[in-house]
């Protein structure tokens, strides 16, 4: 079994934290993993993505082929659309529906959402609002991971939940609990 | 017990070098190589690891450590090789004493660079062994092999990686570490004093070693054939990371033979053998068509050879599993077309960044002159080229702002203004400023000092707290070294000072100084966490 996941967002939105949590869970589960990240210039508010590949067998390429991704997890709706050519026909897009507009020519909201919702398998939520309503503004990315958890399949939601405890352990029990709550919020939102 | 770690390619290289018993790492930060030195700084206190002023000082210091008998690592991005080249090429002539590995991280597709030059050319030019790992595991293991090879041949070894290996994470099995070498300086002066008489003998010895280099590559555990049975329609010479993209396309099922090449000079016998068993060869290599050109010479014009030069693979840009698949005859149907409602989202200077205030001020003053030119440099502040600032007219290489402004001023451009960051100034700007002072060039130099090497993630900057002294020492007149704090509330003062210094007919230096907001907020977070 294999899962090819594209993580997308804008520099500073926390997609590498999502990658770290999934990566930790995969390592503990004994899966093969490759995760190509973007460092450097584009982290300054530009578009960022990470190719995350999980498999029970050996993985060769650090990059995912076009048309082969099983899942796009995006912190931003236009950034989710940027990678649809990488998605396979059965693939899911799990994304925040809240646009991040730091460019003057950002597309019209309606056109953007129409194109996104035209895809067969989409789960979209305004995760920033959910995070604020629940007093966890810094955990929007973990809410998104919760939303995506059912579609990752090669790892169970429980394995990801346990990984959150390990990844945030150094920041104290409160932060771990808050992030696990955030994860559950996302998980339950897409039932 | 076998320990397994999840490591970036850069981290695997770092740990491999530490476990190979290096005593020092010497480097200047540069994407995608920075994390190697950072990992050693954070995890190996027994290894000397402070950042160097530039790649040349790094290369020379590492050669000094090798001279003294210990193992040393030098790391840089590909364009850093240009800066280190004088020392690098001559290290092939001196040879080494303790093992010396030079790690060049290339950036095909120019994700964070101004060109995509291929560092393997430097290795070939210097006539030393080159290693090119295909995976994080191999990068880790190869470090130990590289130091053994370096000490056995008494030559430096170049290890070349690309962004996709440097910045990709994978599980790596690690081995027990080795001890560092004892202090054992080389007593043979004729190796190291490159007077022409000695240099000729040393060069002859380097030439004599070439068959050994080839024999080592032919027998290398990292060069291997993945065979389909019998004759094949196509054979692939897969170099470094290109091997992964080939294997991703299941070559065995396609009846394609693969020769993985991760040690150079190219294994000529293995390539000839592969050519005999196949109707045609494809050379898959990330970067420039170095191997393709060599194989062309090896097989002659009659043999069907495919690669970047023939258009079977793109002439430029990094390889992908898609373009390699296409060259192998595999095309995956795309389920979804590229989306319509997607716009480019270029990076930008952070909100609150001092460089923003510098460009606001410069743009205001430059607008008062009919033909002001602003020569930029390499760093975060290169983003001043993009909207809303559109402030700079050039950005070429580390330090070129000052020297290009000088040359343009020599030609008659006025005002000629240079904008350079603090770390770039000490890397390669100081010598240019000395030229300008000696020539009384009519330029205004802005050293935008944010107290760090920001673009690569906030490493220490070599000149922090020393800039006024450096400029005065180089001969800039004290009344024309001006320091300002780049904040919107100081805009009037800053623009006035810029005007005054433009009007001064000579070299002036303006130093806008305010800490990078990224490093500042990181410090505040760390402080809060400690409380």
Per-residue pLDDT of chain A (191 residues; tens, 9 = 90+): 999 999 999 988 889 999 999 999 999 999 999 999 887 666 778 999 999 999 999 999 999 999 999 999 999 999 999 999 999 999 999 999 999 999 999 999 999 999 999 999 999 999 999 999 999 999 999 999 999 999 999 999 999 999 999 999 999 999 999 999 999 999 999 87
**How far is the C-alpha of A17 from the C-alpha of A141, rounded, in Å?**
8
Please give, rounded to a whole number of angstroms, the shortest distance from the CA of B88 to a CA of chain A: 26
Q: Which residues contact B519 (CB under 8 A, 6 or more apart)?
A: B450, B451, B452, B454, B458
Please give, rounded to a whole number of angstroms, the shortest distance from the CA of A61 to a CA of chain B: 5
Say yes or no for a CB contact (<8 Å) between A66 and B248. Answer: no
**Collapsing DSSP states into helix, strand and coil, what is residue B456?**
coil
Q: Is the dihedral of CA A63, B295, B216, B189 positive or negative?
A: negative
Please give, rounded to a whole number of angstroms, the shortest distance from the CA of A152 to a CA of chain B: 18
Per the CB < 8 A criterion, the answer to whether B180 and B65 are in contact is no
Q: Which of B332, B336, B342 sits opposite A119 (nearest CB)?
A: B336
- Beta strands at B373-375 and B416-421: parallel, antiparallel or unpaired: parallel
pLDDT in tens, B210-253: 999 999 999 999 999 987 778 999 999 999 999 999 999 999 99
H or E element at residue B94 = helix B80-94
Say yes or no for a CB contact (<8 Å) between B170 and A107. Answer: no
pTM: 0.96
Shortest CA distance to B148 belongs to which of B111, B113, B101, B103? Answer: B101
Residues of chain B with C-beta less than 8 angstroms from the C-beta of A78: 341-343, 345
Residues of chain B with C-beta less than 8 angstroms from the C-beta of A66: 322, 332, 334
Chain B contact for A102 (CB, 8 A cutoff): yes
Q: Alpha carbon B475 to chain centroid distance?
A: 32
Determine the residue of chain A that is closest to B346 in CA distance: A46
Q: Is the dihedral of CA B418, B423, B429, B433 positive or negative?
A: positive
Please give, rounded to a whole number of angstroms, the shortest distance from the CA of A11 to a CA of chain B: 8
**How far is the C-alpha of A96 from the C-alpha of A126, rounded, in Å?**
5
> What is the 8-class DSSP label of residue B511?
E
Q: Which residues contact B372 (CB under 8 A, 6 or more apart)?
A: B365, B366, B415, B417
Tokens for B511, please give them. Answer: 């130093």
**Collapsing DSSP states into helix, strand and coil, what is residue A137?**
helix
> What is the 8-class DSSP label of residue A61?
-
Determine the residue of chain B that is closest to A82 in CA distance: B342
H or E element at residue B301 = none
Chain B contact for A135 (CB, 8 A cutoff): no
Shortest CA distance to A131 belongs to which of A80, A49, A189, A74? Answer: A189
Chain B contact for A89 (CB, 8 A cutoff): yes
Q: Listing from the earlier edge strand, what are the strands of the sheet with B481-484?
A: B373-375, B416-421, B443-448, B508-512, B481-484
**How far is the C-alpha of B368 from the C-alpha of B353, rounded, in Å?**
25
Chain B contact for A109 (CB, 8 A cutoff): no
Interface of A with B in 59-78 (CB under 8 A): 59-68, 78
What number of other Cβ atoms are within 10 A of residue A99's Cβ?
16
Please give, rounded to a whole number of angstroms, the shortest distance from the CA of B459 to a CA of chain A: 13
- For position B1, what pLDDT does the model report? 56
Q: Which of B112, B167, B341 sits opposite A81 (nearest CB)?
A: B341
> What is the 8-class DSSP label of residue A124?
E
**How far is the C-alpha of B392 from the C-alpha of B417, rounded, in Å?**
9
Shortest CA distance to B457 belongs to which of B168, B167, B241? Answer: B167
- For position B358, what pLDDT does the model report? 98
Q: Tell me, what's the ipTM?
A: 0.94
Say yes or no for a CB contact (<8 Å) between A85 and B32. Answer: no
Determine the residue of chain A that is closest to B337 in CA distance: A85
Strands (E), A42-168: 47-55, 69-74, 87-96, 122-125
Q: Is the dihedral of CA B188, B194, B198, B201 positive or negative?
A: positive
Residues of chain A with C-beta less than 8 angstroms from the C-beta of B168: 34-37, 51, 62
**How far is the C-alpha of A153 from the C-alpha of A1, rounded, in Å?**
10
Residues of chain A with C-beta less than 8 angstroms from the C-beta of B4: 27
Say yes or no for a CB contact (<8 Å) between B347 and A46. Answer: yes
- For position A42, what pLDDT does the model report? 65
Chain B contact for A170 (CB, 8 A cutoff): no
**How far is the C-alpha of A110 from the C-alpha of B468, rounded, in Å?**
55
Chain B contact for A11 (CB, 8 A cutoff): yes
Residues of chain A with C-beta less than 8 angstroms from the C-beta of B332: 65-68
Q: Listing from the earlier edge strand, what are the strands of the sheet with A2-10?
A: A122-125, A87-96, A69-74, A2-10, A47-55, A32-36, B168-174, B3-8
Determine the residue of chain A that is closest to B241 in CA distance: A61
Residues of chain A with C-beta less than 8 angstroms from the C-beta of B456: 40
Low-confidence ranges of chain B (pLDDT < 70): 1
Residues of chain A with C-beta less than 8 angstroms from the C-beta of B32: 39-40
Shortest CA distance to B347 belongs to which of A97, A47, A39, A180? Answer: A47
Say yes or no for a CB contact (<8 Å) between B335 and A64. Answer: no
């Amino acid at each position: 079994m294999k899962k090819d996941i594209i993580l997308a967002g804008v520099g500073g939105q926390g997609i590498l934290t999502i990658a770290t949590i999934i990566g930790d869970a995969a390592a503990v589960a004994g899966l093969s993993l490759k995760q190509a990240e973007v460092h450097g210039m584009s982290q300054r508010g530009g578009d960022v993505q990470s190719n995350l590949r999980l498999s029970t067998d050996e993985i060769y390429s650090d990059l995912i082929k076009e048309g082969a991704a099983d899942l796009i997890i995006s912190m931003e709706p236009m950034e989710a659309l940027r990678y649809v050519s990488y998605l396979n026909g059965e693939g899911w897009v799990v994304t925040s529906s809240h646009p991040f507009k730091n460019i003057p020519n950002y597309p019209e909201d309606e056109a953007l959402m129409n194109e996104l919702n035209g895809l067969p398998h989409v789960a979209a939520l305004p995760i920033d609002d959910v995070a604020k309503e629940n007093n966890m503004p810094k955990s929007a990315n973990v809410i998104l991971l919760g939303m995506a958890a059912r579609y990752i399949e090669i790892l169970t939601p429980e394995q990801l939940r346990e990984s959150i405890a390990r990844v945030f352990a150094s920041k104290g029990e409160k932060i771990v609990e808050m992030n696990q709550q955030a994860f559950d919020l996302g998980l339950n939102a897409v039932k | 017990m076998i320990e397994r770690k999840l490591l970036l390619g850069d981290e695997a290289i770092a740990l491999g070098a530490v476990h190979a018993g290096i005593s020092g790492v010497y480097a200047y930060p540069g994407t995608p190589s920075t994390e190697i030195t950072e990992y050693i700084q954070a995890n190996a206190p027994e290894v000397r690891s402070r950042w160097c002023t530039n790649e040349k000082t790094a290369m020379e210091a590492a050669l000094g450590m090798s001279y003294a008998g210990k193992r040393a690592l030098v790391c840089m991005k590909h364009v850093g090789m240009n800066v280190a080249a004088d020392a690098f090429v001559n290290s092939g002539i001196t040879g080494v004493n303790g093992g010396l590995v030079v790690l060049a991280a290339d950036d095909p597709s120019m994700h964070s660079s101004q060109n995509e030059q291929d560092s393997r050319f430097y290795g070939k030019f210097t006539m030393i062994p080159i290693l090119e790992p295909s995976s994080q595991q191999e990068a880790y293991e190869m470090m130990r092999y590289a130091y053994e090879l370096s000490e056995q041949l008494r030559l430096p070894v170049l290890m070349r990686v690309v962004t996709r290996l440097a910045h990709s994470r994978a599980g790596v099995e690690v081995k027990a570490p080795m001890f560092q070498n004892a202090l054992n300086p080389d007593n043979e002066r004729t190796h190291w004093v490159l007077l022409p008489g000695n240099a000729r003998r040393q060069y002859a010895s380097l030439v004599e070693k070439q068959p050994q280099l080839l024999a080592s590559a032919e027998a290398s555990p990292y060069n291997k054939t993945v065979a389909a049975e019998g004759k094949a329609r196509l054979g692939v010479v897969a170099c470094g990371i290109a091997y992964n993209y080939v294997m991703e396309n299941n070559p065995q099922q396609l009846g394609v033979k693969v020769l993985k090449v991760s040690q150079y000079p190219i294994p000529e016998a293995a390539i000839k053998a592969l050519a005999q068993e196949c109707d045609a060869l494809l050379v898959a290599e990330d970067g420039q068509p170095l191997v393709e050109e060599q194989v062309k010479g090896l097989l002659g014009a009659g043999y069907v050879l495919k690669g970047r030069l023939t258009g079977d693979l793109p002439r430029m840009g990094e390889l992908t599993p898609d373009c390699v698949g296409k060259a192998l005859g595999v095309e995956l149907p795309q389920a979804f077309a590229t989306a319509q409602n997607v716009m480019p989202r270029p990076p930008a200077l952070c909100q609150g960044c001092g460089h923003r205030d510098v460009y606001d001020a410069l743009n205001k003053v430059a607008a008062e002159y009919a033909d002001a030119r602003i020569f930029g440099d390499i760093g975060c502040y290169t983003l001043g080229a993009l909207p809303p600032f559109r402030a700079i007219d050039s950005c070429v290489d580390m330090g070129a702002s000052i020297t290009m402004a000088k040359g343009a001023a020599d030609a008659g451009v006025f005002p000629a203004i240079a904008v350079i960051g603090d770390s770039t100034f000490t890397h390669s700007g100081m010598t240019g400023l000395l030229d300008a002072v000696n020539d009384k060039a009519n330029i205004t130099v802005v050293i935008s000092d944010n107290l760090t090497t920001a673009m690569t993630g906030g490493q220490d900057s070599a000149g922090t707290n020393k800039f006024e002294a450096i400029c005065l020492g180089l001969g800039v007149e004290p009344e024309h070294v001006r320091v300002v704090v780049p904040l919107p509330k100081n805009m009037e003062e800053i623009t006035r000072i810029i005007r005054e210094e433009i009007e001064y007919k000579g070299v002036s230096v303006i130093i806008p100084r305010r800490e990078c907001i990224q490093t500042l907020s990181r410090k505040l977070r760390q402080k809060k966490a400690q409380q």
